[in-house]
Structure 1
Amino acid sequence: MTLTIVLAACGNSNGNNENNDTEGSGDNNTNDEIDLGQTELQIGTDDYVSNLVNTYLAKLLLEEIGYTVEVNQTDVGVQYTGLADGTTDVIVGAWLPYTHASYWEEYQDDLEQISTVTEEVELGLVVPSYMEDINSIEDLRDNKNDIGEQLEWEITGISPGAGQMQLMENEVIPGYDLNDWTLVESSGAAMSASLSDAISNEEPIVVTLWTPHWTFNEFDLKILDDPQNRFGDPDDILSVSRTGFQEDSPAAYQLISQFNITKEDTQNMMFDVQEGMDPEEAAQKFMDDNPDLVEEWLEGIN
């Protein structure tokens, strides 16, 4: 299905449209035609709430301008294979250049980076702030205050396919000689539940965590120092599409290229999900509460 919408150029922001024929008005008041193009879109995400809420926010924005959007929730690897084989059009949760590096290296010839969605997101090992003497990954290695025995030598992780788990296995554990420790596979939700339970009982716990995440709104947490920088410098979250997406759905591509959000705003939506909303409800609430941001994302399109 191919549609065409007529868009007012966004160069003139003073609202004065009475002088369109006067000399010097130039290109600020010209109209451009932009095709919606293919209107049925597939947008991919994993099951981590930070990516889910941003994906549903992008879905609602795309629907606002006339697209029909289906969200495909899979694991990270399937997201990238879907982009590479064309069954997925776009994602807004690519953690690069570090966390998703292995997927990018494998599939980059069939992918296109569009824009930065969120700047400087961090990965790390996290503990509650009441664990006052545990401040560095080196404290785990050195078994400071018998922390290993207290935790039965377990670090609570997330799903095995996640980029952070790969970094733990390939960089953090060997780099810090954490060979006495076991990285326990679970899921994002199970990790959060374990963290909440431990904090409610003021018990020690070490988890793999990242920003943005709702737990930083709810609890007093600290990311352990990483003096060897084994987790790498902070990633950016990027939007990535299959090749040909811009040509096939140009208005969608333009919207995604204008879509960016702060860690704090993402965490607020995540907190709404934790309080009982589903991700799409939380995204709709955010749009309703932030009309100026919505207007910014849709500038020149609607």
Structure 2
Amino acid sequence: MHKWIKLGLTAVLMFLLALTGCATGTDQGQGGEAPAEQPAEQQPADEKKDVTITFGVTPWTSTVPPTQIARLLLEDMGYTVKLQDADAGVVYTGLSKGDIDVFMDSWLPDMHRNYMEKYGENIEDTAVSYPNGELGWVIPTYVEGINSVEDLKGKEDLFGGKIYGIEEGAGMTITSREMIKTYGLNLQYVPSSESGMLAQAKREIGQNNPVLFLGWRPHPMFVNWDLKVLPDPKKFFKTSEVHVLTNKGFKEKAPEAHAFLKKWSIPVEDIEAMIVQINDGKDPREVARAWIDNNQDKVNEMLGK
């Protein structure tokens, strides 16, 4: 009899111990002492190695510095980065299809309006890189008495009756010819390549002569010379903001990278200074790394540190 009582008590004790173990395991499984869940905007380093981020790179000098800086920072974060050279139309098509993840040099709202109207449904406007992407007619600051396009009326001879521009068919060329007619200016538009136009401007500026030509920022011309963009009261040329674009699936694909680009910004003067260095033969990656090293506070702000 005592034997059966002992056996019964032992069975009850074992059953209670089993219940206690199950309860403890359940508590841990529900987060009692289990590791906290990873924040949505962070990815483990081993997962990042499996993510390739593709940048669209247009053949514009202004595209290179921000792309290289973002590339190096993303590689430092553990991502694999690929650069795809293409014209603007191909870049926007790639963004809309998801073949391209990031574009660092979108000129909005006007210059790239047609692309955004066509492809914007599948593209995210992620950040403003810099707000002062100017373009228009420029003169050296030493030329007095000309403070807007309207002031050119009756003073065309000061510039030899010429405005130097870029190739036929370019948007700025077409717009400039329309401006000459609309403002009633006695100017001859002299088309050339960008380098040809700048060579002519360099000759005139070297002799301290008045000269009228096309300009846009960012561009090293604003580093090399003291220039001013003439205000255009009829708004043929409008100041653009330069934006960072990503495809709509990028945030889910690379949340930490997306969070970084969401905070992206850089002064236009820094872009111009880097363009000059690259044009002088320096390696773009080295120029970008030097900017990172010299702007750690700005970098940490963008990285959310």
2:183 counterpart of 1:176: yes
Alignment of 1:229-268 (within 5 A): 229-232=235-238, 234-268=239-273
2:300 match: 295
1:214 match: 220
SS at match of 2:246: strand
2:151 counterpart of 1:136: no
Q: 1:284 to 1:158 in 2, by over 3 A?
A: farther
Q: 1:59 to 1:174 in 2, by over 3 A?
A: farther
Instruction: Tell me how far 1:139 sits from its aligned partner.
Output: 4.3
* Cα separation, 1, equivalents of 2:242 and 2:279: 22
Give the alignment partner of residue 155 of structure 1, picking from 164, 167, 190. Answer: 164
Give the alignment partner of residue 39 of structure 1, picking from 45, 48, 51. Answer: 51
Which has more helix, going by share of residues? 2
* Cα separation, 2, equivalents of 1:190 and 1:210: 16
Q: 1:221 to 1:47 in 2, by over 3 A?
A: same
Q: Contact 2:163–2:213 at 8 Å: present in 1 too?
A: no
CA-to-aligned-CA distance 1:8-43 (integer Å, 9 cap, x gap): xxxxxxxxxxxxxxxxxxxxx996252348521211
Instruction: Tell me how far 1:206 sits from its aligned partner.
Output: 2.5
2:205 counterpart of 1:199: yes
Q: Contact 2:180–2:187 at 8 Å: present in 1 too?
A: no
SS at match of 2:130: strand
TM-score normalised by structure 2 residue count: 0.75
Is the radius of gyration larger for structure 1 or structure 2?
2
2:65 counterpart of 1:65: no
Q: 1:143 to 1:48 in 2, by over 3 A?
A: farther
Q: Contact 1:37–1:250 at 8 Å: present in 2 too?
A: no
Instruction: Give the counterpart letter for 2:117 in structure 1.
Output: E
Instruction: Give the counterpart letter for 2:142 in structure 1.
Output: Y
Instruction: Tell me how far 1:286 sits from its aligned partner.
Output: 0.8
Percent of aligned positions that are identical: 33
2:115 match: 103
Instruction: Give the counterpart letter for 2:214 in structure 1.
Output: T
Which consecutive residues of structure 2, in runs of 5 or more, have no partner in the other structure? Answer: 1-35
1:8 match: none
Which has more strand, going by share of residues? 1
Instruction: Tell me how far 1:118 sits from its aligned partner.
Output: 1.0
* Cα separation, 1, equivalents of 2:168 and 2:71: 25
Q: For structure 1, which segment, 217-226 or 73-82, has the greater mean C-alpha deviation from structure 2 after superposition? A: 73-82
TM-score normalised by structure 1 residue count: 0.75
Instruction: Tell me how far 1:126 sits from its aligned partner.
Output: 0.8
2:275 match: 270
Instruction: Give the counterpart letter for 2:88 in structure 1.
Output: V
Q: Contact 1:159–1:186 at 8 Å: present in 2 too?
A: no
SS at match of 1:32: coil
* Cα separation, 2, equivalents of 1:110 and 1:165: 31
Equivalenced residues, count: 265
2:62 counterpart of 1:50: yes
Name the Cα RMSD after superposition.
2.9
Which consecutive residues of structure 1, in runs of 5 or more, have no partner in the other structure? Answer: 1-28
Q: 1:30 to 1:264 in 2, by over 3 A?
A: farther
Instruction: Give the counterpart letter for 2:155 in structure 1.
Output: K
2:105 counterpart of 1:93: yes
1:146 match: 157
